[in-house]
């Protein structure tokens, strides 16, 4: 597809959507120039099977946490539990965690509690925090700032599709914004403008597969190979050629996800 290599910084390879053909999905990613993938565990009781995928496939790394939409249904994790998990050589990030008030605003308080635990683990381990934020911009910005004042940590706003204000709050703390297939949708011009205002050295790319497939696969199951389509739109957004954008975002990934560095 393209010569330059890129990284899918966020996917869900453990989801049943991939059960029938996981090796083929990973091979297609490699064929498309996606040299590494981070598969994300969203419920800690499933961590062993997510870890097994990372152990089985050389290009795959993993992260684990409690997704905010699951925070009320899952046992509250502890900093110690996350720190213990992080000792695995292919465990490269804390999360995904965050706040989601779109469908699950009734669990806002437990989401905030869970988020602060994950932040503390990111601070303790030096691993990046992986944030999911939806319909919770004000609380999200406030907690990120308050916790940073308690001690530095690093972070990526995964699948960023929130406001310019939350983007600025994250960037001001030195955090990263990740472009998903949403940024490649034709109607996402305002979102692309937010990305275009950000420093290029704070941008990652991802699929969030099996969700949010970019054009020309929109409406189908997403997979890591399609990171290349989002990266193409990302290059256009920043006025760069594909190879340059690929090299820069890969360097950003290596800086943030230092345990997964090639």
Q: Tell me whether residue 80 is annotated as binding.
A: no
Q: Tell me whether residue 96 is annotated as binding.
A: yes
Q: Tell me whether residue 118 is annotated as binding.
A: no
- What are the start-end ranges of the H helices in the chain? 22-31, 47-56, 79-85, 108-125, 137-149, 164-172, 189-196, 227-237, 242-256
Q: What is the 3-state secondary structure (H, E, C) of 99-125?
A: EECCCCHHHHHHHHHHHHHHHHHHHHH
* HSE of 106, CA atoms in CB hemisphere, 13 A: 4
| Alpha-carbon span 184 to 104, nearest angstrom | 27
CA 135 to chain centre: 17
Contact present, 63 and 40 (Cβ < 8 Å): yes
Q: Tell me whether residue 88 is annotated as binding.
A: no
Q: Is the peptide bond before 216 cis (omega within 30 degrees of 0)?
A: yes
Q: Tell me whether residue 47 is annotated as binding.
A: no
CB-based contacts of 182, cutoff 8 Å, min separation 6: 159, 161, 188, 191, 212
> Of 254, 248, 255, which Cα lies nearest the Cα of 231?
248
Residues making up the annotated binding site for a divalent metal cation are: 10, 12, 96, 132, 158, 208
Residues making up the annotated binding site are: 10, 12, 96, 132, 158, 208
């Amino acid at each position: 597809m393209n010569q330059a290599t890129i990284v899918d910084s966020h996917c869900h390879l453990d989801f049943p959507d991939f059960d029938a053909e996981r090796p083929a999905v990973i091979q297609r990613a490699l064929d498309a120039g996606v040299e590494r993938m981070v598969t994300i565990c969203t419920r800690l009781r499933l961590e062993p099977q997510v870890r097994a995928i990372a152990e089985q496939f050389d290009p795959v790394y993993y992260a684990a946490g409690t997704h905010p939409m699951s925070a009320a249904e899952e046992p509250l994790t502890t900093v110690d539990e996350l720190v213990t998990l992080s000792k695995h050589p292919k465990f490269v990030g804390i999360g995904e965690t965050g706040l989601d008030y779109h469908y699950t605003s009734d669990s806002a308080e437990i989401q905030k509690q869970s988020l602060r635990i994950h932040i503390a683990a990111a601070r303790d381990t030096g691993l990046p925090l992986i944030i999911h934020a939806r319909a919770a911009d004000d609380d999200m910005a406030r907690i990120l700032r308050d916790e940073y004042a308690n001690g530095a940590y690093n972070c990526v706003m995964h699948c960023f599709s929130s406001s310019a204000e939350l983007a600025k709050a994250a960037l001001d703390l030195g955090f990263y914004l990740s472009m998903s297939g949403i940024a490649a949708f034709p109607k996402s011009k305002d979102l692309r403008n937010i990305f275009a205002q950000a420093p290029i050295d704070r941008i990652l790319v991802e699929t969030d597969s099996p969700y949010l497939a970019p054009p020309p696969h929109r409406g189908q199951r997403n997979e890591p190979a399609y990171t290349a389509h989002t990266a193409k739109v990302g290059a256009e957004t920043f006025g760069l050629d594909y190879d340059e954008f690929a090299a820069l975002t890969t360097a950003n990934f290596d800086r943030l996800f230092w345990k997964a560095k090639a």
